[in-house]
């Protein structure tokens, strides 16, 4: 374990700084570009300082996967289990993930899924995450009274739609995304969201629709 960072050791960077830089390279150029020397140059630190934080490059790559594993799946599962009075509200809770990178980092997801195309080991991690997320979405629908098969299909529809967005690296203006949300909710749940449900969702994301104006 490296010693705690002090004033005299700041030139070495930090573990999180190395991970942030590695993620940026992974996103920009793929896993083959995640190498110690380019990372050191990006951070403007000595190459040898890498070894204060990681045993070797493989340890750094493992840490990147661990960051993704500890963030995105728990964030999504947490939202499926959040309090909701209706399946519409529960679905909007899940949609928080697509709006808030603190819950679910879509760029990190894109980078890891792209890496999985080159690595059977990473692909197996993706498979496990997909299974856990789909199970959580299915349970959410079951809790709100849907039969098991319908719950699974609706959960899969939500999840695979969003993974499609991520895999295509789709970018939408906030206004466009928010206008589409009610229709997505109705398609996914069979129920149209009520005005008060949308207002709460909008408020969580700092969005003021024309219909929200008193």
d(Cα 91, Cα 173) in Å, to the nearest integer? 21
Report which secondary-structure segment, H or E, holds 147.
Answer: none
pLDDT digits (tens, 9 = 90+) for 151-200: 999 999 999 999 999 999 998 999 999 999 999 999 999 999 999 999 99
**Residue of 44, 21, 14, 19 lying closest to 6 (CA atoms):** 14
| Token pair of 123 as six digits | 């692909």
Instruction: Answer whether residue 32 is part of any domain.
Output: yes
Same domain, 137 and 182: yes
Same domain, 97 and 200: yes
**Number of domains within the chain:** 2
The residue to which tokens 């930090």 are assigned: 14
Residues 6+ apart with CB under 8 A from 29: none
1's CB contacts (< 8 A; 6+ apart) are none
The domain of 127 spans 64-209
CATH assignment of the domain containing 41: 1.10.10
Interatomic CA distance for residues 26 and 112, integer angstroms = 8
- Which tokens in the block code for residue 42? 């990006």
pLDDT in tens, 47-97: 999 999 999 999 999 999 999 999 999 999 999 999 999 999 999 999 999
Asked if residue 49 and residue 130 are part of one domain, the reply reads: no
- Residue 18 in any domain: the answer is yes
Tell me, yes or no, whether 142 and 201 share the same domain. yes
Residue at 214 is within a domain:
no
pLDDT at 7 over 50: no
């Amino acid at each position: 374990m490296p010693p705690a960072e002090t004033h005299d050791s700041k030139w070495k960077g930090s573990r999180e700084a190395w991970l942030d830089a590695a993620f940026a390279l992974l996103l920009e150029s793929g896993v083959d570009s995640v190498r110690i020397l380019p990372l050191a140059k990006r951070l403007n630190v000595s190459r040898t300082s890498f070894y204060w934080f990681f045993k070797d490059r493989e340890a750094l790559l493992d840490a990147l996967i661990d960051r993704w594993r500890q963030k995105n799946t728990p964030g999504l599962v947490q939202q499926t289990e959040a309090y909701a009075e209706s399946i519409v509200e529960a679905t909007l809770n899940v949609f928080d993930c697509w709006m808030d990178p603190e819950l679910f980092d879509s760029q990190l997801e894109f980078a890891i899924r792209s890496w999985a195309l080159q690595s059977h080991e990473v692909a197996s991690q993706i498979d496990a995450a997909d299974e856990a997320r789909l199970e959580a979405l299915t349970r959410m629908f079951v809790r709100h009274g849907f039969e098991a098969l319908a719950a699974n299909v609706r959960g899969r529809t939500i999840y695979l739609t969003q993974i499609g967005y991520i895999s295509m690296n789709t970018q939408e203006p906030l206004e466009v995304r928010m206008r589409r949300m009610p229709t997505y909710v109705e398609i996914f749940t069979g129920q149209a969201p009520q005005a008060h449900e949308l207002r709460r969702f909008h408020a969580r994301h700092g969005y003021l629709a024309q219909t929200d104006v008193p």
